[in-house]
Structure 1
Amino acid sequence: MKEKILIVEDEFIVANDLKIMLLKAGYEVTGIASSVVQARKLIAEKKPNWVLLDIMLKGDLTGIDLAWELKEMQLPYLYISANTNQSTLEAVKATQPYGFMVKPFRERDLIVMLDIAKYRFDLEKGTENSFENNDQAMDGIIGKSQLLKEVIEKIKIVAPTETSVLILGESGTGKEKVAHSIHEFSSRKSKPIVVVNCAALPHSLIESELFGHEKGSFTGANSLRIGKFEQANEGTIFLDEIGELPLDSQVKLLRVLQEKEIERLGGNKTIKVNVRIVAATNRLLEKEVAEGRFRLDLYYRLNVFPIELPALKDRKEDISLLANYFLNKYSTSSRKKVSSISKIALEQLQNYDWPGNIRELEHFIERNVLLAKTSEIETLDLPATVSKPFLEISGPLKSMEEMEKEHIMNALKSCDGKVSGPGGAAELLKIQAQTLYSKMKKLGIKQGYN
């Protein structure tokens, strides 16, 4: 039986285009409503399975008002709108839709979004079985918490599709592990996955790194260079810290997403590439869009299927599993016979907030394995939790950028201005030195600050 879809859209041309796309894809369109009042009537009469919902409608009520009603009815819906300011995006997100597309969009993107939305809805209702490889372990993704289980289910939903994925979460939550799992559970698993740290790319070389260059295309281009996208052809490219890409590079990336083709620097022909894009960021991209630092059209091309990773402090029941996983990993690699963590030490791990998330825990266990003098890690020297000062805030809240700048400057000060190498700020912050240099440049922090 065909899925029945109601279109709630007050622009006739847009609504008619949607209707044509949906009919062509095999859906039944139960009607077009231009207001919430009209939509309520059609929902009662036609009993649609899904609603495609614009935000700005005729009358006093908006699509967001209707969304809350649909949520009560357990009638799934997706937004299709050109209204994308930050406050609207936040209001939309609160209604927990199954998708959001910005106008204008391509027919292919609409159908892919509907396919994913339907599977997610069916999975929530328990009417679909997970993929046959559902019992396979995901390498390096450790834990049994409900929050992690939800992430794993999302990976298994989206991995076999060809859609782009945006992985969100704080630094150190395991975004690269998730990207690798998406690749391994896809039909592209026999092909390469190419990892690119966007924050570590010098601005002058971004285009060359991503798309390659021809010999002689610029001073120093002494030979042909194959870029990351060509290297990832038929496979997956993982663009980590995508929020760090400058706007001109975002334009070129958007073209690759839309046209599936690249041009090498200095070249005079386009090269077709078949690449699945997985991106990640620890930035709030809605805020970056609102402040003009990230392109709205690129955001929506990437955000068809977002996966948000929880902070470690929000899934503390996984800490002991992770700690023992890293204990086994580093005792084996260092050839030290350290086989257990005491109950007291595990309690210490549980009581710490882990601002650096899984990465901080991993480095901490590695250090303690190397320092252990017996077969058991008995007690730990953990720093005071860093979350307490935020409970004593007075005055206006600082922006994320201001806080990041202050945090980096404090790290530099404690390291006497040293950025890289042992005892440097990069080591203290547990990030790559090149990433720290890039952040310093972006935030206007001069090297040698103390």
Structure 2
Amino acid sequence: METTQTSIFRSARSLRIMTVLAVAAFAAAWNFTFLSPVLKEVAADAGVSKAAAGQLVLVSAVVAVVFLVILGPLSDRYGRRPSLMLGLGAMAAAAFGSAATSSFPVLLGLRAISGVGDALVLPSAYAAVSDYFEGKDREVALNVLLVPLGAAVVAGLPVVVLVSEVTNWHVAFLVFGLFNAGAMAAVPAALPGVTLKRVAHPHLLAHYRESYGEVLGKPAVIPILVAAILGAATWNGMVVYAGSFFEDELGAEGTAKALLFAALGASYVSGGGIGVVLARRLPPWPIAVPSGIAAMALPVLVVSTTAVVPIAVLLALIFAASRAPGVGALNNMILDLAPHSQATAISVHGVVFMTGAAVGAGAGGAAIAIQGYVAMGAVFSLLAAGALFALLAPASMRARSGAMSEAPVEGARLGPSG
């Protein structure tokens, strides 16, 4: 077990582990946001409206929610490597299929498969951090994994835009499929085996009860999950409609749109770096609250300042940078509450995250249809206000969560399994 903070960055073994986990997290984040910059083109080729094409994002999120419930405890039971390989393989298959069709019903089915892949990859990548690191190292490593989530916007979405401009969006899906296939091949070679933190119950249903009981049986988890679902609705809703907003309100198309996505991702990555620094010095809650305040204020400001494009862009960049530290803090708060059921805990967080993403996609589309982008920004600021209210829950609940975070996290021992 790596136990010193510097080992995350200086040990070759730790760098190898963090690299493969980062690649997996990047693939999952890229999968989820992949359609954002080409939504209009996909809609045109599939013969549906832009709002209907947005349901491709919705169906992936809904399927991911369902399968997170099922698959998270199985990662705790059988190990991270099988889940990561299956998930990356599912996303590769869905991408290859999408490269070969413009049929809207077929694309819906393939996006559902990609949702299963996300449900396998994200909880296993994040839970694996606790298999290899503990204490402050784990908190720092989780914040490091936020960097590839932002990098999916910095690198992944500009690739989608540029490949689609040079060829078409089908070729962009082909590139994504190849990336996932390569990541799947790297997992067994790069990740050491671990001994699971507890002996799995021989009966599968009892294992589910134990895993979810450890996570959901604590009152302190409720405000965290409420904040997570409303925060996800705000962030992902803004991302889903960012491409259309850039074109319709800021007049950015082609390369200009790609550069805006890259700038947003770079801001998110910068926020992840700030989160790493803060995680070394502060407990999670004081990091999460300022992030929530920014999420409440900025969406409505972004959409209200389009008459002065540089100001709108600057506010959007600040919004992206403020998101990453809050996500890392919520992840650590959840994991502190369930030391023996890490993938289940991340899956619960993932369920509310994907539910929030679905809410954001639906609410954003409805607001745009009714009153345009200003209404969309107002809706997302209102949702973020709810998230902040949840974080400012009664002090007794925060104290219970804080007490859990001070308890040592039981570490895994290296071994032949998983």
TM-score > 0.5 by shorter chain: no
TM-score by length of 2: 0.24
Higher radius of gyration, 1 or 2: 1
Question: Which of the pair is proportionally richer in strand?
Answer: 1
Higher relative contact order (CA 8 A, sep 6+): 2
Q: Whose helix fraction is larger, Structure 1's or Structure 2's?
A: 2
